[in-house]
Structure formats: structure tokens, C-alpha cells
A and B are shown apart, each in its own frame.
Chain A
């Protein structure tokens, strides 16, 4: 049965299929035979499956149809910009040094050149350039772990993504500087972007990465990002994702991490603003003794929607994982959390913890949480918890009895709720900044900025609650 809407919906799908078929030479240019075959395979899969819709189990609480039901421009060739790149992507977080990797409308831009080796030996730059410069690495890793089960956006991305970011940390290099990917959408029409990231950490290396998704104008955009991260033996990787897009934007973010023995990772997904966000995170613990911390915070209001799909796969013994997602939902906002811990047969001595906590502020806010466990080994400690509630009335009463206004007391309690996710940020300057942002977000003062997400307000002035703590 075709309604007006579904006709349009099929329209975008057909546009993409048509685009691939007519430009397949351009899209697969410079690909090795292996990568080319992979792209064709995923294209076929996308053609068969089409976009997901809310009749599918893994999408049933996310109305992706609405987000897709718009006229989008889908560019497969780089669009030149006359904006000043350095100015546009300037980032001045107080007390926090990072090297910026700028991505505009899905294309890597830098005045430093397409590929760059910094003074610590970390190689980074355009994915398109890396394909030519490091065909061996590209061939081995590209599309290796980004599978498309329940998510045909990955098929589409693997088939069509042309550019993005490539980061390679050679063995033994412990980068002290944080790399910061800033992605912006700046086009005077609705745009659908395919973004791809390939991050490889060799054995005993270390890297912290920030990944900021921002929009500059108020046009609607849909960004489909796929990130593959390979963490070598005993390597350490930290990923901070900051999501602050306008209410008309949609973001499909699929991150796949494969960990070797003894490696550790920490990911922190901070969702501040966006019309519709879908975060798929899959961590495969493929080596003994690997550890993963997967954290997230979402603060949504208006009619925003966030969907976090987190899969932790314990494929080897002696691995540990810790998952914590917290959310505050206001107005008509809705959120989905689907955690999934899988313990493979014989992955003994696994220790996995999963927790999702939510606060609903209005009767119109909705939360759907599904903390799943699937366990095939017996010598394991796995637990999960999920809570949905409101601000603690007794705590509120205590604060009110100390003369703190209703609104301030509310802010303080919400902030306290979010604090344990914020406190897990190990980069001091970033922590302070995020802390400020959360406070502002809770007061409704954080808007979509004209620049990077971290520019909001004056970077020099710290934000404080209007509370006399001596009264407590």
C-alpha cells in the first residue's frame, strides 16, 4: 500500500540507487578490487533492503521514515566552499589543546594538506587520500567490522561514502594531544551526507579523540556516519562524541570497535541537541583481558529523539565492560536505549555491567529502554539495571527548605544526576567545558552555535549555578 509519504520515501531510496548505478565508476575510483567488491556487495544489500522502517524490531521506536521523508541533495563530488576553513573550525576551549581535523559537508578540508603526520608521529587526514597512500592498510581494514545487520544505513555508507577521516597511530606511540574531528554542515539546502572514519591504533599505542557533530545553519540535514576503530594489543583509546545539531537535523551514527588483547577503550557519547539521533555502538572484545567503558548522556527537549543502540560482544574470556547511559527528557522529547551484552560460549570470567537511568520532566516525554543480556558462559558476572523516575522529591524538599528556589533546586538535582557521566571524562579542560555545557543545556541557554559546539558562550568564564552553597 503506497501513501503519499511512502512514495516520497521510496523516492530518496531510488535516487540513491540511481546515483550509484550511473556513477559507480566515479564512486569506486581508486578502489582496490577487494574494496570495490565490498562496495558492490553492500550496494546490492541496500538495494534489496532499502532504508529501515519502524516496522523493524530494532527501529520500532524511531520514526526514521519522517526523517527520510524530505527532499535531500546527495552529493558524491566535493563541493568547494569559499568560507575560511581555519576561521570556521576555530576551537578555543580554555585549558584544552587539540589538533583539529575539519570535515565540511562530509569532505575533509585542511590547509595542512590531505595527510599529515604530527610531531608525535600520529598520521591523520583525508580518508580519500589515505586510500591512495596506504592501500595495504585500507584494504585490510576498510569495511572489516562495519556490518549492516539491522542497519542498512551501513550498507549505504559502505557503498557510497567518498571521504571522511583517517587516523593511524603506529605501534608504541602514545599521543598526548587530543585529536578533534569537527564536522559541520553548511549548505543552503537540505543535504544527505555519507561520512566515513577509519581509525587504527597499533599495539601499545594511545589516542584520545573528540568527535563533534555540529550544524551551522538551520537547514535540514541527514548525516550518516560510519566509524571503524581497530584497537591493537594493549592500546588505549578514548572517544568523546559531542552531538549538537539543529532540530531539523538527523544523525545516524554507527561506530564499530574491535579490541585486541589487553586493550582498553572509553567512549562517551554526549547528546545535547538534534532533531533525531541514532547512535549504534558495537564493541567487540576480541582479545583476553580487554576492557571497555561505554558511557553516554542525553539531554533532550522539544520534540527531539535519541536512540542509543549499544552492543557489547564478549567474544573472549577475562574481558570486562561497563556501560552507563543517563538521560533527562523534557517537553515531548523521546529516547530509546537498547543495550545488549553478549557473552560468547567459553568467554569465562567475563564481568559486564550495564545501566540506564532516566528522568522524565514532563508527562509528554517518553522513554523506551531495553537492557538485554544474552549469555552462553557460566562463570560470569553480568548485571544490568534500568530506572525511570523523576527528581527526588525529598531532596527537592531539602533544598527548598534551605531557601533555594524551585528552579535552582531542580537544576542542581538534574546536574547531580548527570555528574557521574561528566566526571568520567579524563581530559581536565574538556571536563570543565562539558560541565558548563550541561549546566547551560539544563537552563535552556545552550543553542545551536554559529561555530563549533564548544564555542558556546565565552570560553574564559566558567558557569556557576546561582546558589549560595553555604546555605546547604
Chain B
């Protein structure tokens, strides 16, 4: 292979620009800068929340004040000034919206640019979307269809109003506000999010989807997702994220909680494409997310699939607590970092019940001057007889200025369990490139082909709608060489 040619391609990789960097000029209703008890009270009041919700927020806030920001992750960033962030920014509500026509045309334009429309076309693609823009759920489609099955899919604030008993029962049961620094912060100031409830025995006929987008400057986005799948139900849930291009760093600290009862199955897919910062590493989103699923019932299953291409910093460990006997946890991840991006991501599989099984497939791709770490925990408790784990974490390095790291933690307290972990780190081999070149495929396309093949195992796990988008995102992130 021509070395300079490959260098050029890698150069081009670093010059690619963020395609979703547009800014929607919607009037924002913002909280004042800074965080104190009155901010928390203000958010709660703005959202007309009941007293118990405010209590929850305040407890979380007081706990957060007693915590230190964690430093163990393999990421470096200037200290975040939590008093310099706007914790609440809602698109200003002019009046109650009766139909789609009344939605701000600029907002609709934003969605159109993102490729998600709230109109009839969406019906054909069969996707129900709960769009969260700057933390407030704007419009939820397909509620009627879903309601016929008894499925509740609405914004978190609506759920607090309409289904307080469910929220009280499940909120914080998987990720308590005491869980970690960012979970406590989110619990105190979360603005909105999605709530999804699948009743017993129902197989959700649609792929549910939420689109997150940070719009206003200096705002943090703190959304919360709660999914409850009752006995024997099934749901596939998709989450996509984008943010406009800005010089400052924007903070995103979300919580996702999933509860699966007996025989229930939840598939949670994420395509994360927050603004990664420019090629000098300026700006970008700090993404600190706590995602955890609880396989509460017997034979329940939770599968996380994520494609992480964006964010300046990613700190994210979607986890499964395998409590029910015979429950299954899965984690499939592709994390791509370029320029000065830093990712410290992975999963935790905590085996509590008997005969529990977990699979971890993680593919890291580093380019430019980025650092990409896999950090995972597999923990087998003494009661988890005959449990099984298989982990594979591979890293691919494109260029000699990036880093790829693996930090697996494996803790076993049961003699009948079998745990296997393997990892490799390599670069695209010259043999593979040569083979492609020799078949008339130019180097640029060849790298694309190889990277896609490398990530295929994970991309295959994504729902159709996302698989296409994810492939495009991989291409955009490694622009110039990959297509």
C-alpha cells in the first residue's frame, strides 16, 4: 500500500465537518444560569410538578452536593463549572398545540433536517417518535395506535401528571439518585424525557423512538428515560442524539432505566451523534450517561446496542443487572473516535440469578488524536450458579497518534460459572488493503469496507431504520476515507 496515500486519507478523515451543525432559532424559555436549590424548585415549578417530585429532586440535589466529580475514567477535560450552565431550556410554549400544523415551522424544519418528520410520512415508516428538543418533549406521534394496545409512550412530565403511581413505583428503582455523581445531578435537574410502559403480554407493534437534540447555547441536557416491560411483553426502543455546532462544551447527563419482568424483552438501540467538537478539539458535547437495565423477572432479556460516533467526551456504561433466573443481558457497541474525541465506554453485567447469560461485543475504532477506551465489568455473585459470560472487545487503530485501551474487570464468586474474555488491538492490515486495491477498489473505499465489516457484528443488531443511519454515521465520522 502506498503509505503517503493512506496518510492523506487519514488526513482527510480529520478534516471532515459535522453535518448536523445547524442551529434552530426558536425562542427559548430558560432558567437562569447556575445551580442551587431555587433552580431545582424553578424547574419543578415550571413543569407544574407535584410535591413528591420536588422532594425527590431536592433529595437528589442535596446528595449531589455531597459528592465529588469522579476522576477514574480515562478521559481528560477541563473542570466543568456547574454554576455556568443553564439547567432548563424549553422551547417557549405559545399555546396548547392541537395539531401538527401548529408546531413551530422552524422546529419542523429542524426535524426535517434531521430526517425525522412528525408528519404522515412517518406513519408509513411505522415509527413512533417522541422528540425531545432541549429537554422538553415536543410532540409524540402514534399515541393513539399505541394506546389501543394499552402501551403508554409519552413524555416524562406527562407521565408524572398522568401516571404518577407508575413513576413513583419505578423511577429511581434501577438507577437511584445515590448511584453516582451524574445520576444525582440528573435526578435533581432533569427537564424531561420519555416514559414507556408495555402492559403484560403485549408485543409493541412499532419501533419506539426518541430523538434528542441540544439546541440552545450553554445549556445542559438532562433527560430521563424509563421503560417498563411487564410480563411477557416486548419492545424495541431507539434513541438518537444530535447537537448543533458550538464552540463551548455542552453538558449532557442522562439517565435511562429499563425494567423487564418475567419473559419480557427490551431492545434498546442508541445512535449517538452529539457534536464532537471541531478538529482542534474545541467545543463538543460532554456526554455523561447512566444507563441500566434490570432483568427483574425470570427469563427476561435486555439488549443494549449502541453506535457512538459523536461527543467530545463519552462516559457511558449501559449495564444489565441479571436478577431473574435464566435472564439474559446483551451489549453490542461500536464506538468511533476521531480528532480529539475521548470515549470511555463499556458495560456492566451483574449476574445475580441462576443460569444467567451475558454477551458483550465491543468494537472500538480510534482515528486522529483521539482516545477510545473500553471499560467493562462482569460480576458473578455467589448465587449465580451456572452463569455464563462471553466478552469480546476489539480495537482498531487508524493512525499513530490515537490510543485504544481496554480495562475489563471480571469478578467471579461462583465456581460453576464460565467467563471468557478476549480482546485484540490491531490496525487495518496492509494485506487486506492490498487485496482490495488489487481487485480495483481504491484505498478510501477499501478502508470503508473493512471498517464496516469490522463493525458488522454490531450493526446487524440494530433495527432497520437505525442500521442505515448508523452506517452513514460511521461514514461521516471517518469522512474522506470511508463510504
Contacts and interface: CB of A to CB of B under 8 A. Distances in A.
B28 to A, nearest CB: 42
Interface string A375-406: 11111111111111110000000000000000
A375 B415 contact: no
Contacts of B403: 374-376
Contacts of B149: none
B426 A381 contact: yes
A413 to B, nearest CB: 14
B417 interface: yes
B109 interface: no
B425 interface: yes
A371 B421 contact: yes
B167 interface: no
Given A370-B407, A375-B395, A375-B405, A384 B423 contact: yes
Given A387-B420, A390-B415, A378 B408 contact: no
B400 A379 contact: yes
Interface stretch (A69-77, A283-291, A355-363): A355-363
Given A380-B426, A387-B421, A372 B410 contact: no
Given A345-B401, A378-B400, A386 B414 contact: no
Contacts of A57: 72
B405 A386 contact: no
Given A362-B415, A364-B382, A378 B410 contact: no
B414 A378 contact: no
A383 B427 contact: no
Contacts of B414: 360, 363
- Please classify the interface of chain A as helix (H, G, I), strand (E, B), loop, or mixed, using the class held by over half of its residues: strand
Given A57-B72, A360-B414, A372 B419 contact: no
Contact of A360 (B406, B415, B420, B426): B415
A417 to B, nearest CB: 14
A150 interface: no
Contacts of A117: none
B424 interface: yes
Nearest to B380: A388
Contact of B410 (A365, A381, A386): A386
A322 interface: no
A378 B397 contact: yes
Interface residues of B, number: 36
Given A372-B406, A377-B400, A379-B427, A366 B412 contact: yes
Contact of A370 (B382, B408, B424): B408
B315 to A, nearest CB: 17
Contact of A383 (B409, B410, B413, B424): B424
B412 to A, nearest CB: 5
A162 B39 CA distance: 61
A385 B406 contact: no
A301 to B, nearest CB: 13
B407 A378 contact: no
A44 interface: no
Interface in A49-84: 57
Given A365-B415, A378-B402, A372 B407 contact: yes
Contacts of B402: 376, 378
A368 B411 contact: yes
A382 B400 contact: no
A360 B400 contact: no
Contacts of B397: 375, 377-378, 380
Nearest to A373: B406
A259 interface: no
Contacts of B421: 369, 371, 384-387
A346 interface: yes
A355 to B, nearest CB: 9
Nearest to A360: B415
A367 interface: yes
B349 interface: no
Given A375-B397, A379-B400, A385-B421, A390 B416 contact: yes
B43 interface: no
A375 B402 CA distance: 8
A375 B416 contact: no
Contacts of B395: 373, 375
Interface in B420-442: 420-427
B132 interface: no
A378 B409 contact: no
A367 B395 CA distance: 26
A364 B414 CA distance: 7
Nearest to B383: A363
Nearest to A383: B424
Interface centre among B415, B416, B420 (most CB of A within 10 A): B415
A432 interface: no
A152 interface: no
Given A361-B415, A365-B415, A370-B407, A383 B400 contact: no
A293 B329 CA distance: 37
Contacts of A385: 420-423
Contacts of B483: none
Interface in B281-327: none
A349 to B, nearest CB: 11
A379 B426 CA distance: 7
A105 interface: no
A267 interface: no
B259 to A, nearest CB: 29
B172 interface: no
Contact of B398 (A368, A371, A378): A378
Nearest to A380: B425
B406 A384 contact: yes
Nearest to B405: A374
Question: Which 9 A-B pairs rank lowest in CB-CB distance, beginning with the nearest?
Answer: A378-B397, A360-B415, A388-B419, A373-B406, A382-B425, A383-B424, A386-B421, A378-B427, A376-B403
Given A361-B415, A371-B406, A378-B400, 5 more contacts: A367-B411, A369-B410, A372-B408, A374-B403, A388-B380
30 contacts: A360-B412, A363-B382, A366-B412, A367-B410, A367-B411, A367-B412, A369-B411, A370-B408, A370-B409, A371-B408, A372-B408, A373-B405, A378-B398, A378-B399, A379-B400, A380-B397, A380-B426, A381-B424, A383-B423, A383-B424, A384-B421, A384-B422, A384-B423, A385-B421, A385-B423, A386-B410, A386-B421, A388-B417, A388-B419, A390-B416
Interface of B: 72, 74, 380, 382, 395, 397-427
